[in-house]
A and B are shown apart, each in its own frame.
Chain A
Amino acid sequence: GQQLNQSPQSMFIQEGEDVSMNCTSSSIFNTWLWYKQDPGEGPVLLIALYKAGELTSNGRLTAQFGITRKDSFLNISASIPSDVGIYFCAGPEGGAGSYQLTFGKGTKLSVIP
């Protein structure tokens, strides 16, 4: 199946700093999804991207769908302690409308107050 590579694997930042993480694939995706998993919880959808070049914001979060359709990034501005968690990118394995999502291994974010 398709693989999604996320970087960095983990990061420690000071509260108030901006965060940037990305996700790359060896094959084209028509949809990119970003999920966040809080400790002890299930992943929750943050942002969905459906078009190459699309830039979408959700509060302090901004995500972009890369022009090549093989990458996406997620930025978090002015981080706060509750941003702690694991951020996953995901895309439908069988193309747009597919029910099977492939997930990256995640970026674990720690915020130091």
Chain B
Amino acid sequence: DAGVIQSPRHEVTEMGQEVTLRCKPISGHNSLFWYRQTMMRGLELLIYFNNNVPIDDSGMPEDRFSAKMPNASFSTLKIQPSEPRDSAVYFCASSFSGNTIYFGEGSWLTVV
């Protein structure tokens, strides 16, 4: 079975540019999560959706960050404008109404 699929795997961009990260959750899962991982702060939950509806976005750091889930099989996390401190690994994860969350392989973002 296909797991959570993220793209791009790696992105290097210049400060000020828009970054869009994409995620396809596991088919049949109804919850989707965006996490950010850094050395300093570890894994932080940015936002999660249940049945395509954003439930809690309190982890989204600033207005520069936005996330959408237009349908059950696709979500995006957008950073505009990007800053060097946004450099991190961004994970998308999904689950079916429970605690077992399956992670994608991550999108490694570097903002220079």
A interface residue numbers (CB < 8 A to B): 31, 33, 40-45, 48, 88, 92, 96-101, 103-106
Most buried by A among B50, B93, B101, B102: B101
List the A residue with the shortest CB-CB distance to B39.
A105
List the A residue with the shortest CB-CB distance to B40.
A105
Number of cross-chain contacts by CB at 8 Å? 46
CB-CB under 8 A from B98, the residues of chain A are 97
Taking residues whose C-beta sits less than 8 angstroms from the other chain, chain B's interface range is 20 to 34
B39 to chain A, nearest CB (A): 9
Assembled-state Cα–Cα distance A42/B95 (Å) = 15
Contact A42:B31 (CB < 8 A) given known A48-B99, A99-B55: no
Beta-carbon contact of B56 and A103 below 8 Å: no
A/B interface sample: 28 pairs, CB < 8 A: A31-B99, A40-B105, A41-B106, A42-B4, A42-B91, A42-B93, A42-B106, A43-B91, A43-B103, A44-B103, A45-B100, A45-B102, A48-B99, A48-B100, A88-B43, A96-B99, A98-B99, A99-B31, A99-B33, A99-B95, A99-B99, A100-B45, A100-B48, A101-B99, A101-B101, A103-B43, A104-B42, A105-B42
B98 to chain A, nearest CB (A): 7
CB-CB under 8 A from B104, the residues of chain A are 42
